[in-house]
Amino acid sequence: MSIISDQIVTKMVLIISEEDDLSTQVVIDWLVHFKKDFTRINNSDKVRVRGIKITNDSLDFEILGKGLLTYSLLSSEIKSFWYRRGEMNLDIDTEFDFIVNEQGLSEGISAYLYEEKVFLQSAIYKCIESVAASTVDNFQTTINRKFESLLLAKKVGLKIPATAIVQSIEELNFFVANHGPDIVTKGINENIRILTKESYICSPTVSLNPKDLGDASQCFFPTLIQKKIAKEFDVRVFYIKGKAFAAAIFTSNKYKDEVDFRVVSRIDDRLLRIIPYSLDEITIDQLNSFMKIMGRDSGSFDLVQSSDGQLYFLEMNPVGQFGFLSDACNYYIERYIAKNL
C-alpha cells in the first residue's frame, strides 16, 4: 500500500460507473447506510491523474475529477475498488495542431498521442487495482464477446444452442437443414442501439424465418444465428465472486413464444412473473469455472430452461443490469455489494 505521509488518511471505496446507472446509486445508498466513505467517477467526468510515481517501495498518484462534484483522491486513500461500467474520461488533449511542412505529420502525431492516452488509461486502472485492498472487476474484461463466451461455456460443460456465423443464403440454408427452421439472430457483440433526433432504435434477439428473406442478396454481412430453444422459462443469474443470485422469468401465455423477455417487459412489466430460482451445485461450479477463466468477478448470465428440462447458456453480459432481479426476488444485491466493498 502506498504511503504519502505519516498522517492518518480516510480509507474509501472508489467506484467507476456511468452517471445514469441506477444500480450504482442504490449501492451508494447502502454505502452511506454502512457509513463507508466513497468516491464515484462517472464516464462524463473530466478526470486528471497526476503525480504518478512507482518505486521499489511505493506507488503514488492523485485523481482529480470534475463532474456533478469536484473531488480529489490520493492513492493512499483507496480501500477498495468497484468497476461497474463506463470508463475514466481522461482530460487530455491528443489533437496536435502545430504547423508542419510535411503532409500527414500532424495527423500521425495526433494518432500516436491518442494511442498513448489509451495505454495511460489502462495503466491507471492497473495502478488503482494495485493499491486497493480488494477489487470487484476491471475495465479490461467488459466487452461482451458472445461467440467467445459460447466457446468458453462449452469448455466448462454448460449446454449451448447450436450457433453459427453466416454470410450467405447457402450457409443459412445449410444450418437450417441440420438444425431445423426455428432459429434466432442477435449481434455478434452487442445488439444494435441507435439514437436519432426522432427515435431510439434497439434490436433485441429475434426469431428469423429464412423464408422471409425472399429475394435477399446471396451474400450479406456476417450474422450470428442460433437454434431456437423451446423454452419453459428464462433464467437470469447475477454472479459476484462465487455467489449466484438466480431468478426464473415466466412470460404470459400470450407472449410465451417471444424470444427476448425484455421485449415483453417493455410492453408491460405485469406480463412477466419473476421468482427466486435455485441453481444446482454442478451449474454453480460451471459458472465459477467460466468466470475464473474469463477473469471476471461479476456478470449477468442469460440462461434458458428448455421444455425438456435442460438448462442452456445463452450469453454473459459483464456489465449487465441486476436491479430488477434484486427487487423482484428481494435479494438486496446492492446491499450485498456495498457490504463487501
pLDDT tens, residue by residue, 76-121: 999 999 999 988 889 887 666 555 556 667 778 888 888 998 899 9
Report yes or no: 14 and 61 within 8 Å, Cβ to Cβ. no
Dig out the grid coordinates for 254 from the structure. 400470450
Report yes or no: 279 and 242 within 8 Å, Cβ to Cβ. no
pLDDT at position 271 is 67
- In three-state form (DSSP H/G/I as H, E/B as E, the rest C), the secondary structure along 165-224 is EEEEHHHHHHHHHHHCCCEEEECCCCCCEEECCCCEEECCCEEECHHHHCCCCCEEEEEE
Q: Which domains does the chain have, with CATH numbers?
A: 12-140 (no CATH), 143-159+230-341 (3.30.470.20), 162-228 (no CATH)
pLDDT tens, residue by residue, 122-171: 999 999 999 999 999 887 777 778 888 999 999 999 999 999 998 888 88
pLDDT at position 142 is 75
pLDDT tens, residue by residue, 16-57: 999 999 999 999 999 999 999 999 999 999 999 988 999 999
Of the chain, the percentage scoring pLDDT greater than 90 comes to 52
Confidence bin at 308 (pLDDT 50/70/90): very high
pLDDT at position 100 is 58
